[in-house]
Structure 1
């Protein structure tokens, strides 16, 4: 019983920290970066939204500015075949099979993301990617989370 209340408290603190980032406003959100811990909490929350509402409703939430999309933060969702189901920087890419997509250094990042989700259920994957705020290729680490009971993976990255 104590573990549940402590876990709830930790989650509440993390969500409060993310809320503070959002309240700071869109202009300053571009300069504020969430911590890796905050990204883990936000990714877990994104997976919960998918689980509770389904992918179509979640896509609408993830594409709108707010809790899941601010500054350089956005939620990606792929299925186990490596097909993009949510990609806020370019929604027209939804439906593309990106399993063989590589970063500018030739790293098979989507395959790495799928391996982590399938083997461990969650974890970090590092690669380089285009930052939508700076419009530059930058090092990025994404926290990967498998959606419970589904062959879906939600992930959010933070540029370093």
Structure 2
């Protein structure tokens, strides 16, 4: 009986965040979450999305959080450190010197969506780690939504 209850709870938790096993992100899960977040931004706008993305829950937990930038490279939503919202990150380089925001903008603008890889500080471990990020252009709002997966 206890085993059946535990299995049901694990199944429920797994269904709450598709593509995530025991809250360990997967590429498919990150892509799905990015597309879901982009739909929220498109439907409700930045302010309601910001409120939702800053709260712990489906859009922010552990190492998972939703970023939103404009086409000029200004952080509009950055849950790990909201005081940086409104700042330009266009020329920010990762730990290996890659202009990651420019790559994110280029991928979103040219392809509509896609993957960008770089090295970034993981707020859950406080260490620089390789990160694979799925980006989605939300043209109707002139913004780019992205979520990353630390390797």
Q: TM-score, normalised by structure 1?
A: 0.82
Pairing of 1:8-157 with structure 2 (within 5 A): 16=15, 18=17, 32-157=23-148
Q: Shift of residue 16 of structure 1? A: 3.1
Q: Unaligned regions of 5+ residues in structure 1, if any?
A: 1-14
Q: Unaligned regions of 5+ residues in structure 2, if any?
A: 1-13
- 1:36/1:17 CA distance change after superposition, 3 Å: farther
- The number of residues matched between the two structures is 138
Residue deviations 1:46-88 (CA, integer Å, cap 9, x gap): 0000011110110000000000001100000000000000001
SS in 2 for 1:33: coil
- d(CA) in 1 for partners of 2:62 and 2:81? 15
Asked if 2 retains the 8 angstrom alpha-carbon contact of 1:143 and 1:155, the reply is: yes
Asked if 2 retains the 8 angstrom alpha-carbon contact of 1:33 and 1:158, the reply is: no
Q: Shift of residue 89 of structure 1? A: 0.5
SS in 1 for 2:146: strand
Stretches of 4+ moved more than 6 A in 1? none
Pick the structure with more strand per residue. Answer: 2
- d(CA) in 1 for partners of 2:96 and 2:127? 14
